[in-house]
Each structure stands twice: as C-alpha cells, then as structure tokens.
C-alpha cells in the first residue's frame, strides 16, 4: 500500500467521541470501532490485518513509539499524545492510552485539549530535530529530560497528570452523563458510568491527598534529622562540661550518655518512616495510574455501548462488535479494579506498622523526659553547675517537644491515609463488576426491545 502524503488539513472528530482499536502482540490491527474507522479514512476491511503504523504520521518522533513499545513489552500500560495520519494524508491528534491484554493490546483514544497537549505539540518538533541528528539515542533522553525540567518526576508522572487532565476535559467539553430523555436500560447504563466516573474522580483526589501526607512525612523526617544532629553536639558538650566539674557533676555525665543512647534507639525506630516515605510515593504512582486507567476504560465502554445501540436503526448485527470486544473490556476493568484494591490493602498494613513504631517512639520519649527531669534535679544541687547545665536541659526539652509534636503529626497523617484507603478500597471493590453490568444491560436490547427513541420512523 502506498503511504499517503501528509497535508496541512485536519481529519475532524468531536470532543464527545472516543475510539479504540485492538491489535495482536505485533501491533497488527484486529478491530477498530466506528469512530476510528471514520477518522482514519480507511475501510474496515483495509484496517483489519494492517499494522497499526498505517496511521503513523511522519511528524511523530520515533522515540515516542520506542518508549511506548518498551513499556508495553514490560507488561505496563502507557499513555501518550500522538499525531496520526488518515488515508487522505490529513492529520489528527489523539491522547492514546494503551493497555496490554491477553494476546495483544487495546488502545483507547480521545481528542486532546489540555495545556499538557499544547506542551507536547511544542516539544515533538524539537525532539524530531534531535532524532534526525543523533537518532533515538539522543531523542529519548532529550524527551525525558524536557519532561523532568517541566516539573514531572518521570514520564509515568507526566502521563498520569495528562490522562487526568484529558479525562476531565472530555467530561467538561464532550458530554454530560445524565440525559433526562433516556429511559430504561439506556438510562441505567448512563447512571452506572456516571457513578463510576465520580467515584474514580474522588479516588484520584484522595490519592493527591496521599501526596500531601507524604510531603508532611518528609518534612517531619527532615526536621527530626536536624534535631538528632543537634542533640549529638548537646550530649557531647554536656559530657565535657560534666567532666570539668569532676565529682560535683559526674551524675550529669551519666545522664547525658543515657539521653544520647535512648535517643539513638528512637532514631533507629524512626528510620522505618524514611523507608515508608519511599514506599508511599511508589504506591501513590501505582494507584493514580490504575485510577486514570479505569476512568478511561469506563468512558470507552460507555461510548462503545451507546455507539452499538445507535446502530440498531441500520444494522441487523448491531451488537456483533460489542459482543466481540466484551471480554477484553471486562477482564481489563476487573483486573485494574482488583489491583487498585490490593495496592491500597497493602498500604493499610504498612500504615499499621508505622503506628506500631510510633507507639514505641512514644514510650521512649517518655523515658527521655524522665532522664531530663533527673538531670534537672541533679544540676540544681550546686548553683554553679545549674547555671552551666540549664542550657543543655532546655535543649533536651526542645528535642522532647519535637518528638512529641512529630508523633502527633504522624498519627494525624496516618489516620487520614487510613480513612482514604478505606474509601478507595470500597470503591474499587464495588465497581469491579460495573463493566459486566453495563454489557448485560445492553444485551437487553433485542429486536423486540428497541427503545422508542431509537426506532426507525
């Protein structure tokens, strides 16, 4: 097949339209829904069996596709802004979310419009220039470096934020869910889709709160680290001062050592919190990715079902395509919902471990206060000694107050996380079967059950 020459014209489709295609493991197209066929400009018979590269536009950096395929081959989903080319050479931009399935891949696309899309449009020509000079060895690092310079921790972070922005734009620009004129199963489908989307949006916002809690943990750990470093100097200076006074302050030297030793035990218990900060950051990214993936899948299912129902007027086999693709969407959605539930359940166990550690820290902190009070009593015996050691005891008190405040802050953040975990876990469990429910409702439409608004005049 002769590749068309690119034009400067756009192949139009609406913000209210979604399309998808399935391919085998080599990227050979197995199926594309009606919108995909129309926008691509190729007949269904031509698309089926053709490599997905049939719609590749020469303006696209090859590095984007290398990143895409490397990610998919690793078993992970990926999203990207892609400029495609239709059969007549016209271009069309999509935000594509691609998922591995049992024996291939499924790609869900929508019309992009967010600020991140504008950034991608500006970045790709620059990446293409680098690629022409240095090959993909230069363009891939260039792309990833530009993404990090834009404030994203990784490409995964970028694509999660882009997916959330584009999904929100679709719902705001594309359509509303609840239509007063719909009735029966069609209305039920709309309501289920709307419920899932609202729950997923709430879950995503809660995951963003996870990020705030993790920032609070990091700030607390940084403050405690400074406190421990300062305490080392206080304990050392206190020991030296006690030695200068000889027998008059020998007990204070012992107290300084006990205070320092117990503080080190506390530090050892708190080291786990640093590990938890890293763990939580990883969980946040995994959960956010699954949430935006579920939202994209649900929106596509809702659109595809209604696209199929609309064909009742003109097709004897309106639901053939729907039945053909049901298994893909059902397994994919259930899998991601289950993974989200398991991820959050694992986090709940880790949070309980943090609370257990903080209970130990609380006990040790009480021990520090006892040691400090003994030091206050001992230093008060001789006025000269008291004048020297009052500063050290005040610093001990400040450190104890820091530990107490940190413990309170950590407990507060853990409780918030536990509450949000419960909500997300329940949402994931409740919506796991939504896609099957929607397909079951759609199957009610037989030749004798066509809704009045869809009957031919």
Assigned domain for 290 exists: yes
- Co-location of 191 and 299 in the same domain: yes
- Co-location of 330 and 261 in the same domain: yes
Tell whether the model's pLDDT for residue 268 goes beyond 90.
no
- Co-location of 142 and 195 in the same domain: no
Quick: pLDDT tens for 105-126. 999 999 999 999 999 999 999 9
Assigned domain for 6 exists: no
Number of other residues whose CB lies within 10 A of the CB of residue 21: 23
Residue 447 has what pLDDT? 45
Residue 442 has what pLDDT? 86
Give the mean model confidence (pLDDT) for residues 301-324.
81
Q: Which of these ranges, 182-186, 309-313, 341-345, has the smallest mean pLDDT?
A: 182-186
Q: Which of 98, 128, 149 is the last residue of a domain?
A: 149
User: The domain that contains 145 carries what CATH number?
Assistant: 3.30.450.20
> pLDDT > 70: what percent of the chain?
93
- Co-location of 209 and 347 in the same domain: yes
- Co-location of 189 and 136 in the same domain: no
Exposure b/e, 354-370, CB count within 10 A at least 16 = b:
beebbeebeebbeebee
Instruction: Band the pLDDT of 180: cuts 50, 70, 90.
Output: very low
Q: From 101, 100, 83, 103, select the one nearest 92 (Cα to Cα).
A: 83
Residue 382 has what pLDDT? 83
Residue 1 has what pLDDT? 63
Task: Give the C-alpha separation, 336 to 400, whole Å.
Answer: 45
Quick: pLDDT tens for 51-106. 999 999 999 999 999 999 999 999 999 999 999 999 999 999 999 999 999 999 99
Residue 187 has what pLDDT? 82
Give the mean model confidence (pLDDT) for residues 311-321.
73
- Co-location of 127 and 256 in the same domain: no
Instruction: Band the pLDDT of 282: cuts 50, 70, 90.
Output: very high
Quick: pLDDT tens for 5-25. 999 999 999 998 999 999 999
Q: Mean pLDDT, the chain, as a whole number?
A: 90
Task: Give the C-alpha separation, 358 to 208, whole Å.
Answer: 24
User: The domain that contains 210 carries what CATH number?
Assistant: 1.20.1270
Residue 457 has what pLDDT? 44
| Overall number of domains in the chain | 2
Domain that holds residue 304: 184-442
- Co-location of 299 and 414 in the same domain: yes
In which residue are the tokens 């199963």 written? 185
Assigned domain for 410 exists: yes
Task: Give the C-alpha separation, 373 to 366, whole Å.
Answer: 11
Assigned domain for 157 exists: no
Assigned domain for 81 exists: yes
Backbone phi, then psi, for 91, in 5-degree steps? -105, 160
Task: Give the C-alpha separation, 58 to 108, whole Å.
Answer: 21
- Co-location of 81 and 227 in the same domain: no
Give the mean model confidence (pLDDT) for residues 212-223.
94
- Co-location of 198 and 318 in the same domain: yes
- Co-location of 432 and 306 in the same domain: yes
Residue 316 has what pLDDT? 63
Residue 308 has what pLDDT? 86
Q: What angle do CA 263, 215, 212 make, to 5 degrees?
A: 135
Residue 452 has what pLDDT? 54
- Co-location of 141 and 227 in the same domain: no
Give the mean model confidence (pLDDT) for residues 417-437.
96
Residue 450 has what pLDDT? 53
- Co-location of 99 and 195 in the same domain: no
């Amino acid at each position: 097949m002769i590749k068309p020459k690119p034009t400067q014209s756009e192949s139009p489709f609406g913000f209210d339209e979604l399309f998808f295609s399935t391919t085998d493991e080599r990227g050979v197209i197995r199926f594309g829904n009606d919108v995909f066929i129309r926008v691509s400009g190729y007949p269904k018979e031509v698309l089926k069996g053709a490599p997905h590269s049939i719609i590749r536009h020469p303006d696209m950096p090859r590095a984007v596709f290398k990143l895409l395929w490397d990610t998919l081959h690793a078993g992970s989903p990926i999203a990207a802004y892609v400029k495609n080319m239709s059969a007549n050479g016209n271009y069309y931009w999509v935000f594509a979310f691609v998922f591995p399935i049992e024996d291939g891949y499924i790609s869900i696309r929508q019309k992009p419009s967010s600020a991140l899309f504008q950034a991608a449009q500006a970045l790709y020509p620059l990446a293409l220039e680098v690629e022409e000079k240095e090959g993909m060895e230069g363009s891939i690092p260039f792309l990833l470096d530009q993404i990090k310079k834009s404030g994203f921790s990784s490409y995964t972070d970028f694509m999660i934020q882009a997916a959330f922005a584009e999904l929100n734009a679709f719902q705001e620009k594309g359509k509303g869910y609840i239509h007063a004129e719909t009735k029966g199963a069609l209305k039920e489908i709309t309501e289920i889709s709307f419920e899932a989307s609202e729950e997923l949006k709430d879950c995503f916002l809660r995951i963003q709160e996870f990020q705030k809690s993790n920032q609070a943990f990091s700030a607390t750990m940084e403050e405690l680290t400074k406190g421990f470093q300062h305490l080392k100097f206080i304990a050392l200076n206190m020991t030296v001062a006690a030695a200068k006074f000889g027998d008059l302050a020998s007990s204070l030297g012992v107290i300084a050592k006990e205070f320092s030793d117990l503080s080190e035990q506390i530090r050892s218990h708190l080291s786990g919190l640093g590990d938890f900060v890293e763990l939580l950051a990883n969980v946040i990214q995994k959960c956010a990715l699954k949430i935006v993936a579920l939202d994209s899948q649900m929106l596509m299912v809702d659109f595809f079902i209604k696209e199929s129902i609309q064909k009742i007027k003109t097709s004897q086999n309106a639901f053939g395509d729907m039945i053909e693709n049901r298994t893909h969407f059902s397994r994919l959605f259930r899998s991601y919902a289950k993974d989200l539930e398991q991820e959050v359940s694992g986090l709940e166990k880790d949070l309980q471990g943090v609370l257990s550690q903080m209970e130990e820290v609380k006990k040790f902190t009480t021990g520090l206060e006892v040691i400090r009070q003994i030091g206050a009593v001992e230093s008060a015996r001789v006025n000269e000694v008291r004048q020297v050691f009052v500063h050290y005891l005040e610093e001990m008190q400040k450190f104890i107050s820091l530990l107490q405040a940190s413990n309170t802050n950590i407990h507060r953040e853990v409780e918030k996380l536990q509450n949000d975990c419960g909500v997300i876990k329940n949402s994931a469990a409740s919506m796991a079967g939504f896609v099957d429910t929607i397909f079951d409702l759609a199957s009610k439409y037989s030749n004798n059950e066509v809704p009045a608004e869809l009957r031919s005049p």
